[in-house]
Copies of this chain bind each other. A is one copy, B any other.
Amino acid sequence: MLRALQLAASPGVPLGPNPRVGCVLLAPDGTIVGEGYHHGAGNPHAEIEALKVAGDLARGATAVVTLEPCNHTGRTGPCSEALIEAGVAKVVVAQRDANPIAEGGLDTLAAAGVEVGHGLMADEARALNPAFTFAHEHARPYVTWKFATTLDGRSAAADGTSRWVSSPAARRDTHLLRALCDTMLVGTNTVEVDDPQLTVRGPDDRPLAHQPLRVVMGERDLDPDRRVFDTAAETLHLRTRDPLEALTSLYREHGRHHVFFEGGPTLAAAFLSAGVVDEVVTYVAPMLLGSGTAAVGDLGIPTISDALRLEITDVTVVGEGTEANVRLKLQPAKGDG
């Protein structure tokens, strides 16, 4: 199983929407007769790759897979059927498939007389695909909320100017984090006021070839000339102000697992109040404004004991000298919110 996990974590595998999966086929004497891993959406699944390598040696073999073989026909056929057809005798999986439309692979295998088992190194397998696992278990994408703030909690000055609170180094770092998600989300107000392009750009400031889906949520009509509607990537306008409604739609109708949310103070407050912020990334810029827009809007919290408490998971200084910003990663404190 360790080998299968290593295969799944092979470098260069693009993340999302498909999970990272590894598969090892063992002959009855324990010899490895086939290996494979999933290279990303549109490519064969790990099991199919391994079966191809093994050929006739798959008959009577044991398949060790990091994720329960799929049971549905998507862009590829169901892996459960392929394993049965190849004559595999036993299938051991780490993580049960969390995706309700693909699950049931082990049941299909067992019904066909294949010996099945699961649970070995399941935590490690879940950690391979945290957003995939989260999204299927919660029926909505994992939400990373990113905001930039001054030391005194301001996201813009009194006249509305906000370019730039965060340093160039912090903005480059943001692009690295955006690239790990499959969706970028802002509100209509941000599009009207800041007109961001919402693309992932590389160190040379050019858009990367693979771009997350751009999503704008809110009821207002938007000027089609806004940069978010350019041809650099796909864009979706969700006509709702309800965070959970938007997230549910992104999961159910658009298969999204990880939203990088860069909303302004009001929309951020709505997400926080709805309890749908799973991770906070903030860049603290070493500057003071004393007035201007607060980074977070009203949360309806009257007193200190009701404060929304988070737990720090990472503190990193991004950039050097006068470009240095402090990046904090946090998660809602357990037992809170």
* Given A161-B303, A304-B162, residue A286 in contact with residue B330 (CB < 8 A): yes
The stretch among A214-222, A247-255, A294-302 that forms the contact with chain B is A294-302
* Residue of A287, A288, A306 with most chain B CB atoms under a 10 A cut-off: A288
Within 8 A of B (CB), among A281-316: 282, 284, 286-292, 294-312, 315
**What residue of chain B has the Cβ atom nearest to residue A162's Cβ?**
B304
A274-285 interface bits toward B, Cβ cutoff 8 Å, 1 = contact, 0 = none: 000000101010
For the complex formed, measure the closest distance between the CB of A306 and the CB atoms of chain B, giving whole angstroms: 8
The CA-CA distance from A154 to B152 in the complex, in Å, is 8
- Which residues of the partner chain B approach A162 to less than 8 Å between Cβ atoms? 304
A158 at the interface (CB under 8 A from B): yes
Q: Which residues of B contact A304 (CB under 8 A)?
A: 156-157, 161-165, 289
Q: Which residues of B lie under 8 Å from residue A236 when comparing CB positions?
A: none
Contacts of A312 in B (CB 8 A): 286, 317, 324, 326
Residues of chain B within 8 A (CB-CB) of A159 are: 302-303
Given A153-B149, A157-B301, A282-B151, CB of A307 within 8 Å of CB of B330: no
Within 8 A of B (CB), among A135-171: 149-154, 156-159, 161-165
A203 interface hit (Cβ, 8 Å): no
Is A102 interfacial (CB 8 A cutoff)? no
Chain B residues within an 8 Å CB radius of A307:
150, 157, 287-289
Distance in angstroms from A327 CB to nearest chain B CB is 10
Residues A328 and B150 in contact, CB atoms below 8 Å apart: no
Is A269 an interface position by the 8 A CB rule? yes
Query: What separation, in Å, do the CA atoms of A149 and B151 have in the docked complex?
Result: 9
Q: Is A82 an interface residue (CB 8 A)?
A: no
A272: interface (CB < 8 Å)? yes
Q: Smallest distance from the beta carbon of A220 to chain B beta carbons, Å?
A: 23
Taking a contact as CB atoms under 8 Å apart, the answer to whether B326 and A326 are in contact is yes
Q: How far is the CB of A292 from chain B (nearest CB, A)?
A: 8
Report A121 CB to chain B, min CB distance, Å.
Answer: 27
Q: Which residues of B contact A286 (CB under 8 A)?
A: 309-312, 328, 330, 333
Contacts of A317 on B, CB cut-off 8 Å? 312, 315
Q: Which residues of B have CB within 8 Å of A11?
A: none
Q: Which residue of B lies closest to A309 (CB)?
A: B287
A321 on the interface (CB 8 Å rule)?
yes
Q: List 22 A-B contacts (CB under 8 A).
A: A149-B153, A151-B153, A151-B296, A152-B296, A153-B154, A161-B303, A162-B304, A164-B304, A284-B284, A284-B328, A286-B333, A287-B307, A287-B310, A289-B308, A290-B297, A290-B300, A290-B308, A311-B321, A312-B317, A312-B324, A326-B326, A326-B328
A-B contact sample (12 more), CB < 8 A, given A288-B296, A290-B299, A309-B322: A149-B152, A151-B153, A152-B294, A152-B295, A157-B306, A158-B303, A286-B311, A288-B299, A289-B308, A312-B324, A315-B315, A322-B333
A residues neighboring B (CB under 8 Å): 149-154, 156-159, 161-165, 269, 272, 280, 282, 284, 286-292, 294-312, 315, 317, 321-322, 324, 326, 328, 330, 333
